[in-house]
Amino acid sequence: MRARVDELRATGRSHALVPTMGALHAGHCALIRRARREAGHVTVSVFVNPTQFGPGEDYLRYPRDLDADRQLLEGLGGVNVIFAPDVNELYPGGREAQRVWVDSPGMSAALCGRHRPGHFRGVLTVVAKLLAICEPQSAVFGLKDIQQYCMIRRMAQDLALPTRIIGIETVREQDGLAISSRNTFLTEDQRAQAPALSRAVWLARELIESGERSAAAVEEAMEQALIKAPLVELQYAEVVGAETLEPVAGLEPGEKVLAAVAVFFDRIRLIDNEIVQVPHVC
């Protein structure tokens, strides 16, 4: 990868990175198409990052099939390099040998981070490593993982990294379910109820756009929409500031807020979100 980066620098060819954990799907294809528009050379990294999984999470069960990913990328076209390092290359000596981590304790305490201690520290650290290795001018991430996107963008800003962080709209199934590698684990009944997530965040948009100004009322409405689906186990339904991820009490006109939800179907955790601009009511 470093040799390729040297070549790119020598020829002045622009470089975009799409970091992934494999199990590629239509959502990743949208990121890659955008990367293609950004740069003459596209790298897709495939690395299931152990440090972003907590104890009891699905690190070992996470789907891994590099041949299938390679085939999908060949079919899609436009990807110059698949960078799939071994875990010992990114973490020589293992997790214990890692002495320096990247984190934002404040932002990590919000939304998913509150329920997944250490997750965003793992994400920021591995993304910092991938950016340092690949030296891309731009890197593309999905807005489904909105907290991840906000924190990576903030990392790039606060650490003066030279990479432009680009976010791409969530790609959805026809019934609204946000596409995710974890959807493949859902049973038929769970899959039938999974659109409850998108319905909940769209309801939040509708309420805010039609004049609701209490974050608590919007959260309550999202919760009610979610628990209507009997197989849903609610983790959170929150409205926070879209930049800071901090709680908002009243919704101020002109402000951008994030309506975000996380639920479990048994052990399968799904998330969704909408960014909404609070309108000025005439």
Which amino acid, 147?
Answer: Q
Residues 16, 20, 31, 201: which binds ligand PAF (CB under 6 A)? Answer: 20
Binding of ligand PAF by 166 (CB under 6 A): no
Taking the least distance from each CB to ligand PAF, the nearer of 31 and 204 is: 31
Which amino acid, 272?
Answer: D
| Shortest reach from residue 272's CB to ligand PAF, in Å | 15
215: nearest Cα among 249, 166, 181: 249
| Shortest reach from residue 62's CB to ligand PAF, in Å | 10
- 3-state SS assignment for residue 68: helix
17: nearest Cα among 123, 126, 140, 129: 140
Active site residue 28: yes
Catalytic pick from 28, 41, 115, 119?
28
Taking the least distance from each CB to ligand PAF, the nearer of 49 and 273 is: 49
Judge contact between 51 and 128, C-beta under 8 A.
no
**What is the rounded distance in angstroms from the CA atom of residue 196 to the CA atom of residue 156?**
34
Binding of ligand PAF by 177 (CB under 6 A): no
The residues in 136-165 that bind ligand PAF, with binding defined as CB under 6 A, are 145, 148
Binding of ligand PAF by 194 (CB under 6 A): no
Residues 8, 27, 34, 49: which binds ligand PAF (CB under 6 A)? Answer: 49
**CA angle, corner 56, sides to 55 and 59, nearest 5?**
85
Tokens standing for 99? 């002495």
**What is the rounded distance in angstroms from the CA atom of residue 143 to the CA atom of residue 137?**
19
Residues 42, 126, 133, 143: which binds ligand PAF (CB under 6 A)? Answer: 126
Residues 8, 19, 150, 154: which binds ligand PAF (CB under 6 A)? Answer: 19
Taking the least distance from each CB to ligand PAF, the nearer of 28 and 199 is: 28
Residues 6+ apart with CB under 8 A from 118: 51, 52, 54
Residues 111, 123, 200, 262: which binds ligand PAF (CB under 6 A)? Answer: 123
Binding of ligand PAF by 29 (CB under 6 A): no
Segment lying near ligand PAF (by CB under 6 A), choices 13-21, 108-116, 160-168, 236-244: 13-21
Residues 21, 156, 261, 262: which binds ligand PAF (CB under 6 A)? Answer: 21
Tokens standing for 220? 């309550």
Segment lying near ligand PAF (by CB under 6 A), choices 16-24, 61-69, 191-199, 233-241: 16-24
* Ranges of H-type helices in the chain: 2-11, 26-38, 66-76, 87-90, 105-108, 111-115, 119-134, 146-158, 188-193, 196-209, 215-227
**What is the rounded distance in angstroms from the CA atom of residue 43 to the CA atom of residue 134?**
8
| Shortest reach from residue 21's CB to ligand PAF, in Å | 4
- 3-state SS assignment for residue 279: coil
Q: Which residues are catalytic?
A: 28
Write out the residues near ligand PAF by the rule CB under 6 A.
19-21, 49, 52, 123, 126-127, 145, 148
